[in-house]
Structure 1
Amino acid sequence: MRPGFRLGVQWLSEADDVELSSYDARVTMPLYPIFGPPPPMVSLGFEFTELNAPAVFDLPGDLYETSIGLSWMRRRNDRWSFRWMLGVANATDGDNHSSDAWQFRGGGFALYQPNERWTWTFGAIALGRNDIPVVPAIGFIYQPNPCLRFDASFPRPRASLLLADDGTRQQWGYIGAGMEGGTWGYRQDDGVNDQLTYRDWRFVLGWESTPRREAGMPFALGRTISAEVGYAFSRRFEFERGRSDLDIQDTVLIRIGTRF
């Protein structure tokens, strides 16, 4: 019953004269417990993306996203749990304030844990993006022993290896893949309101310091620190009105984050 905070920064190096940096912050607060703990959670988030590109590309320099969401997780019994999410976001360049900037997000999924080694997920999540509006939340977490964990869930699967454990905190190394990006409303140089979607696919190598976690669970409560480097490919900017999509070269990335 206390607020949680998340901070993150990401940098994608210059390629085709395009460079991306993003900074995000989120606070999650518990509400009054309904039908017993855990309580519903409300989250408030803000993300700033800086986009450096040649003027000929006609891309916005600054992108902003403000979001609010509600989530609730309920345990049905020792094996089944359910989670629901509902939220709204305003994603814009600061000039386009039309309906292009508003997004509705949400979803629901079930978690089935037959034993400590396996956890299965079933459901779907609405992302609010133009290119991929909904993704399946279908996958599994398999932890054959305390030192090895496989998370095969879209959109960020990973394989993790325990590097050190001092009894209180664990140091994990991991390799992963995934899809990143987002959609924003923006105004073209000629004054036309449009929507911009950025997407990339990536491979990453990372490190994560966490409190000890239960077998099969994707996260642990408490302070978490993570850092990763990676390679982003199949990068594209997509537009909704009267423009051709723009493909850009592959690049490297660095991401650092913390949760407490």
Structure 2
Amino acid sequence: MIKTFQLHLGYVRSVLLFYLGIVAGCSGLPRSAPEVAATEEAPSVKMKNQMGMGGNPGSPFGIGVSGGYSTGSDLSAGQIRVNGRGIIPINPPKRMMMLQPSFSTTSFDVDALFDTPSEVYNIGLNMMWMERINERTMLSFGANPSITGDADSLGDNVRVFAMGMLSWQWIPNKLKLTAGAAYTGRDDIPVLPMAGLQWNPNEDWNISVILPKPKIAYRIHNIGESSTWIYFSGGLGGGTWDVLRTNGTTDEFSYTEFQAVMGIEHSTELAGRLFAELGTGFSRKLEYRETAEEQSFGNSLLLRGGWNY
């Protein structure tokens, strides 16, 4: 199962992807990947990141495009992801639902003698239900059914990522505590805890210590509805796919990559959010479930960028 580099165990990909609140900025190779996509962040975190560090809610509908490339000794991987977003105001602000269809393609270039598909795909639909219990407490549930695979196996199986999260504003608009868990749909890390805190000491700092994708951001520019942030983020990239092997059998193929990046993002009300990231990937590994084959690789240089509106 190949993990989409996006959010980022920091985007354990699905949580990150769903960021995973939905996530998540939509990083290029979030592990995302929900893709994320990994979510590809925690629901509340991901949603805020997608709408910009400033938290501007923007339009109830939107689109996003992102891409990333991780290159290192014997293994390089690249991904392109496209997603849409729609918010259904069932009973705002008490009750809302968000839908996020997405498509991503991930390619691999491996020098080692390892049976690796050259390109894999993920088609999914993030669904998130947000219920405000009171002025300080929010309950979120999400699911992300998706089909994954290469050109020969795509559509043969359906994978599901699911999560539940409770957030509490300990100090309104300053300190928020979060706790929950996610089922990632991955064989190597089936269940992932989601817990931590989000602290905003002032309008220029956004400190999110929420697993699986911590992020520390500082605003360096702010004029009207335009703002620029620099940040440091950690995560888990990669993904899982059902692929057809050269011997004719179908197996679960996984790619794992821990990530640490520095990034910059610029948000405006009219143009949306642009972001770029530079970092490193480490503890990289390819593996098959049925045959228990595994191959480790050295560190990589990681580049990502994208646009959300």
Give the TM-score normalised by the residue count of structure 1.
0.89
Equivalent pairs counted in the alignment come to 249
State the alpha-carbon separation in 2 of the partners of residues 4 and 137 from structure 1. Answer: 26
Query: 5 Å matches for 1:91-110?
Result: 91-97=148-154, 101-110=157-166
Q: Is the radius of gyration larger for structure 1 or structure 2?
A: 1
Distance 1:2 1:176, change over 3 A: closer
Secondary structure in 2 matching 1:27 = strand
For the pair 1:129 / 2:178, whether they are aligned, the reply is no
What is the deviation of 1:227?
Answer: 0.7
* Identity within the alignment, %: 25
Secondary structure in 1 matching 2:76 = strand
Secondary structure in 2 matching 1:60 = coil
Matching residue's letter, 1:259? N
Deviations 1:142-200 (A, max 9, x none): 11122222110112111111111112221111112111111001111111211111111
Q: Which runs of 5+ in 2 are unaligned?
A: 1-58
Greater relative contact order (Cα < 8 A, sep 6+): 2
62, 67, 84: which one aligns with 2:119: 62
What is the deviation of 1:55?
Answer: 7.5
Secondary structure in 2 matching 1:137 = strand
For the pair 1:228 / 2:277, whether they are aligned, the reply is yes
Deviations 1:23-78 (A, max 9, x none): 001112234x4344553222211000011224831100010000013212122221
- 1:77 corresponds in structure 2 to 134
Matching residue's letter, 1:109? M
For the pair 1:9 / 2:72, whether they are aligned, the reply is no
Query: 5 Å matches for 1:140-159?
Result: 140-159=197-216
Matching residue's letter, 1:58? D
For the pair 1:246 / 2:303, whether they are aligned, the reply is no
Secondary structure in 2 matching 1:146 = coil
Of stretches 108-117 and 226-235 in structure 1, the one that deviates more from structure 2 is 108-117
Give the TM-score normalised by the residue count of structure 2.
0.75
More strand by share: 1
Deviations 1:111-133 (A, max 9, x none): 11122210111111222111112
82, 90, 103: which one aligns with 1:34: 90
State the alpha-carbon separation in 1 of the partners of residues 100 and 296 from structure 2. Answer: 34
For the pair 1:185 / 2:185, whether they are aligned, the reply is no
State the alpha-carbon separation in 1 of the partners of residues 263 and 181 from structure 2. Answer: 26
Secondary structure in 1 matching 2:152 = coil
Coordinate RMSD, CA, aligned: 2.0
Deviations 1:58-105 (A, max 9, x none): 100010000013212122221111111122111101223576x42111
167, 181, 202: which one aligns with 2:259: 202
